[in-house]
Amino acid sequence: MTADTTTETDPGPPGSTAGLDFIRQIVVEERRAGKHGGRVHTRFPPEPNGYLHIGHAKAICLNFGLADEHAGFCNLRMDDTNPTTESAEYVQGIEEDVRWLGYDWGERFFYASDYFDQLHRFAVQLIEADKAYVCDLRGKEVSEYRGLWNEPGRNSPCRDRSVEENLDLFARMRAGDFEDGSRTLRAKIDMASSNMNMRDPAIYRIRRVPHYRTGDAWCIYPMYDFTHPLSDALEGITQSLCTLEFEDHRPLYNWFLENVDVPARPRQIEFARLNLSYTVLSKRKLLELVEEGCVSGWDDPRMPTIVGFRRRGYTAVAIREFCGRIGVAKANSVVSIAQLQDAVRQDLNQHAPRVMGVLRPLKVVIENYPEGQVEQIEAVNNPEDESMGSRQVPFSRELYVEQTDFREDPPKKYFRLAPGQEVRLRYAYFITCHDVVRDPATDEVVELRCTYDPETRGGYAPDGRKVRGTIHWVSVEHALEAEVRLYDHLFAKLNPEDVDEGGDYKDALNPDSLEVVTARVEPSLASAPAGSRYQLERMGYFCVDTESTEERLVLNRTVTLRDTWAKIEKMRLAGQREK
Ligand code: ATP
Ligand code: MG
């Protein structure tokens, strides 16, 4: 027995449920009414057939969060009844991700596959009570007999088998006497039920596939709808939270609890799954993207997986904050991915040190700056947090600035570098551009010839003269080369799953979701460990990639400084109005 029924927690004073989501209200009310002995015991039950995604994070925050709020428990359970798709690698990934998100299951780590013996006994109990039978119909026939939603099904010719015959056949199923798919064990409920799930659903099927944990011990495997409620009951779960598509399965969930001898009566409550714009959240589809090489792996920083987000530089705090903000509701909706990025930005704005890096370098030569001279310039690490201190950044005669910070023919109100225009180099000096050097072959601008005003050290002119633009820079001699991966949405369509006829969600893959540039960054990033996060001033938040080495710095752009897609969307809408 795994139920943890020893700890009775105090329901506390009958507080108000105002402001709570509908699940939290139910839990408060159930405790107040003394249901489940006042306990709150939830579980997060992933199937180890893939890595967790942001939708799972919502379920994790809900289940673990709810248990925390009521001084209860939350189990982590592998729902591993389908041997064909599950693996120990995924189990390990799931554990790592839940822990990284900041949740602790203590001793309460379980596997549905550990209940196989007990589940088998429950099945025998059902047969003995004449509530389950072995059926010889095969896949196609089963569907024909099941009927349609508006038309009752027909009883299987095997439905009236005697208990003895059923016990014998089930034993032989288990012993491996029958081939895969030739028989099933079915619950005897009601073939005329208006709920299709109640039309004698399968409980066990024959499958000669070794299981990653039980090996060849079984050739029959219990179905999800049978396993889930009974696993919940065995663990003493009080509220079994699942997504809306299981609403129609609830009567079946309850039927199993009522018809076998279980130690607890969990209550299933459904909530809306998380859908995110520009994203698919289905393990099957994410696996397909991995297997077909559309991404580099489950941890590709463009993937909506926890491992992908982690590698991209998202923080657990930001993901939890996002899950809190979107809340829990009963109606399906699509949440804007901008909300998630906002939460990431907000966290990194406070905690990521700021450094300078130039993504697309353009060389600047300061003609009146002494050759060979190097100055150390003080730069603030994070103006949001003084305690993060400052650092020294080397300044010299040759610098790199951002190509996009120079315009030979500047439009009005362009305050960055342009011929004859003075700008401030962040923390350093005012410079003025006098000349451009072109590549004779391509006519491209490859170098700017500038002068600096030595009186403006620190970025201010003693004569009170103002400049409107401030740009970032790095010293050519001191800069580190970095491979920078600039990510955009993996899908170019708001809802990639909304496909045209004959189409596929992969048609919506964004061909520009990854751009790699060779950037130059300030030397303070030398030997920055994988996973460390920075703001490159004016360019966004970046995270040192897991592939980064001492010899080759690799950065992932975690998120831009502003929601650039909001602007694109606004322009698109404005364009539509003009038409
Ligand atoms: P997928 O549809 O991506 O394959 P799943 O539901 O089959 O997901 P499970 O491993 O069974 O994956 O999910 C574990 C738990 O996470 C379940 O309780 C499920 O309801 C919940 N969950 C899965 N996807 C979402 C989502 N998008 N939003 C909220 N909860 C989710
Ligand atoms: Mg599932």
What the block records as the tokens of 505 is: 């969600």
What the block records as the tokens of 576 is: 């539509």
| Contact present, 206 and 160 (Cβ < 8 Å) | no
Report how far ligand 1's centroid is from the alpha carbon of 103 (Å): 17
Please, which pLDDT band fits residue 6 given cuts at 50, 70 and 90?
very low
45 lines ligand 1 (CB under 6 A): yes
Write down the pLDDT at residue 227.
98
62 lines ligand 1 (CB under 6 A): no
Measuring from atom 23 of ligand 1, which residue has the nearest CA? 56
Ligand (nearest to CA of 86) = 1
Write down the pLDDT at residue 3.
42
Write down the pLDDT at residue 527.
86
Q: At residue 452, does pLDDT exceed 80?
A: yes
Report how far ligand 2's centroid is from the alpha carbon of 83 (Å): 14
328 lines ligand 1 (CB under 6 A): no
Write down the pLDDT at residue 571.
64
DSSP 519: E
Active site annotation includes 284 = no
Question: Rounded to whole angstroms, how far apart are CA atoms 489 and 486?
Answer: 10
Please, which pLDDT band fits residue 4 given cuts at 50, 70 and 90?
very low
Q: What is the mean pLDDT of the chain?
A: 94
Please, which pLDDT band fits residue 17 given cuts at 50, 70 and 90?
confident
48 lines ligand 1 (CB under 6 A): no
Ligand 1 nearest-atom number relative to CA 274: 28
Ligand (nearest to CA of 43) = 1
Write down the pLDDT at residue 10.
47
Write down the pLDDT at residue 275.
96
Q: What share of the chain has pLDDT > 70, as a percent? A: 94
Active site annotation includes 292 = no
Q: At residue 542, does pLDDT exceed 50?
A: yes
- The greatest distance separating any two alpha carbons of the chain, rounded to the nearest whole angstrom, comes to 103
Please compute the mean of the pLDDT values over residues 315-333 and round it to a whole number.
Answer: 96
Q: What is the pTM of this model?
A: 0.93
Q: At residue 378, does pLDDT exceed 60?
A: yes
Q: Report the residue count for the chain.
A: 579
Region of poorest pLDDT, from 40-49, 263-272, 458-467: 458-467
Write down the pLDDT at residue 380.
95
Active site annotation includes 506 = no
Measuring from atom 29 of ligand 1, which residue has the nearest CA? 273
288 lines ligand 1 (CB under 6 A): no
Please, which pLDDT band fits residue 499 given cuts at 50, 70 and 90?
confident
Measuring from atom 14 of ligand 1, which residue has the nearest CA? 46
- Whose tokens are 């079984």? That residue is 218
Measuring from atom 10 of ligand 1, which residue has the nearest CA? 46
Q: At residue 8, does pLDDT exceed 90?
A: no
Question: Rounded to whole angstroms, how far apart are CA atoms 307 and 310?
Answer: 5
59 lines ligand 1 (CB under 6 A): yes
3-state secondary structure 126-174: HHHCCCEEEECCCHHHHHHHHCECCECCCCCCCCCCCHHHHHHHHHHHH
Q: At residue 22, does pLDDT exceed 50?
A: yes
**Number of other residues whose CB lies within 10 A of the CB of residue 505:** 18
Ligand 1 nearest-atom number relative to CA 273: 28
| Catalytic-role residue among 273, 363, 407, 426 | 273
139-169: pLDDT as tens digits: 999 999 999 999 999 999 999 999 999 999 9
Please compute the mean of the pLDDT values over residues 496-509 and round it to a whole number.
Answer: 91
Write down the pLDDT at residue 573.
61
416 lines ligand 1 (CB under 6 A): no
Q: What share of the chain has pLDDT > 90, as a percent? A: 92
52 lines ligand 1 (CB under 6 A): no
Measuring from atom 16 of ligand 1, which residue has the nearest CA? 56
Q: At residue 485, does pLDDT exceed 80?
A: yes
Q: At residue 70, does pLDDT exceed 50?
A: yes
The values of phi and psi at residue 438, to 5°, are -110, 155
Please, which pLDDT band fits residue 9 given cuts at 50, 70 and 90?
very low
Report how far ligand 1's centroid is from the alpha carbon of 322 (Å): 17
77 lines ligand 1 (CB under 6 A): no
388-412: pLDDT as tens digits: 999 999 999 999 999 999 999 999 9
Q: At residue 544, does pLDDT exceed 90?
A: yes
Write down the pLDDT at residue 172.
98
Q: Of 498 and 510, which is predicted with more confidence?
A: 510
Q: At residue 578, does pLDDT exceed 90?
A: no
- Whose tokens are 């790199």? That residue is 400
457-496 burial, b at 16+ Cβ within 10 Å, e below that, comes to beeebeeeeebeebbbbbbbebbbebbbbbbbbbbebbbb
Write down the pLDDT at residue 328.
95
Question: Rounded to whole angstroms, how far apart are CA atoms 486 and 310?
Answer: 16
